[in-house]
Amino acid sequence: MKKILFPTDFSPAANHAFIYALHLADVLSAEITTLHAYPLPEIHGVVMPNLVGEIEQSIRMEEFDEYRNSVDQLRVIAEANSLGHVRVNHTLKTGSTIKAILASAESEGSDVIIMGTKGATGLREVFVGSVTGEIMEKANCPVLAIPDEASFDHNIDRLVVTTDFTDEDEKALIEVLKFASLFDKTQVVCLHVSPEVDEEKKMRFENMKVKFRDHHNLHFEILSHSEIFRTLGEYLEKERIDIVTMLTHKRNFFKELFKYSRAKRMIYHSKIPVLAIPAHLLK
């Protein structure tokens, strides 16, 4: 991970996530490209072309002034956290936020997108009804979502990978183990949570353990409970997990992820970053 794309709206949540991104970039010897995107208004009716141009130019100038001041604030944040040495590039683009982020990730060759999530954000809010959720579903690189209460202590001690013991999950686990190797003594937990653990799952569980037996920093666990997200949340908090990793799919991702919790209010509100790995990258 040498190229980090950091979309920002310069909100407090985004500025907090920027500190996390700076720390991570420092550890990985990576560079950050910040991106702020803003839309131009759609002007309907009979309007003189020169007037449309004047309106757009006025908006561009106002946005640029705000952008310049906000970039200065990011520099102050970096210096205040003794991370002024991290290489940071800044970009400003017009257009849809989601389209601008996805296009920039492609053109920049970004290895990961790091984004903040607003408010008391839980796993459901991370994935559903947010810009971060759409980016996680559509991006062609991993996406790391940083809740506004998350903090980074310059190391990742424990990392969870959720699994159903599929071939895709095994490929994702390989990538996560590579990522974990960049840090000092990171422990990886391959975790399965489901309402019922039958004999077939137990067999796949044992087979996966055998395949990865040479990775001494890797541990396997199964949790059986009908309340999947509450169980997962309690485990992450209790075990002081630094990052939870999940595979994302472009089709039916939301349906599959929340099929056990449709009728229930989400209890778990995460303080833990979520790393989404697009499944289509593993094929």
What one-character-per-residue DSSP string does 15-64 give? HHHHHHHHHHHHHHT-EEEEEEEEPPPPP-SS--HHHHHHHHHHHHHHHH
Question: For residue 76, what are its two tokens?
Answer: 């102050």
- Complete domains list, the chain, with CATH: 3-147 (3.40.50.620), 158-282 (3.40.50.620)
pTM greater than 0.85 (yes/no): no
Whether residue 29 contacts residue 2, with contact meaning beta carbons closer than 8 Å, is answered with yes
pLDDT at 54: 60
Q: Encode pLDDT of 170-183 as tens digits.
A: 999 999 999 999 88
Nearest-angstrom CA–CA distance, 37 and 95 = 6
pLDDT at 217: 93
pLDDT at 41: 62
pLDDT at 40: 63
Whether residue 143 contacts residue 112, with contact meaning beta carbons closer than 8 Å, is answered with yes
Cβ neighbours of residue 242 closer than 8 Å, sequence gap 6 or more: 152, 156, 157, 158, 159, 272, 273
Whether residue 35 contacts residue 6, with contact meaning beta carbons closer than 8 Å, is answered with yes
Whether residue 269 contacts residue 122, with contact meaning beta carbons closer than 8 Å, is answered with yes
pLDDT averaged over every residue in the chain? 80
Question: For residue 201, what are its two tokens?
Answer: 């799952």
pLDDT at 157: 92
- Angle between the 12-28 and 49-80 helix axes, to the nearest 10 degrees? 60
Burial 106-133 (b: 16+ CB within 10 A, else e): eebebebbbbbbbeebbbbbbbeebbbb
Nearest-angstrom CA–CA distance, 29 and 105 = 19
- Spell out the per-residue pLDDT of the chain, length 283, in tens: 899 999 998 888 889 899 999 999 998 999 999 999 877 666 555 555 665 556 556 666 677 678 888 899 999 999 999 999 999 999 988 888 899 999 999 999 999 999 987 644 445 455 444 677 778 878 899 999 888 777 777 778 999 998 888 888 899 999 999 999 988 889 999 998 888 878 888 888 899 999 999 999 999 999 888 777 778 888 888 898 999 888 876 554 444 444 433 322 332 346 788 888 888 887 6
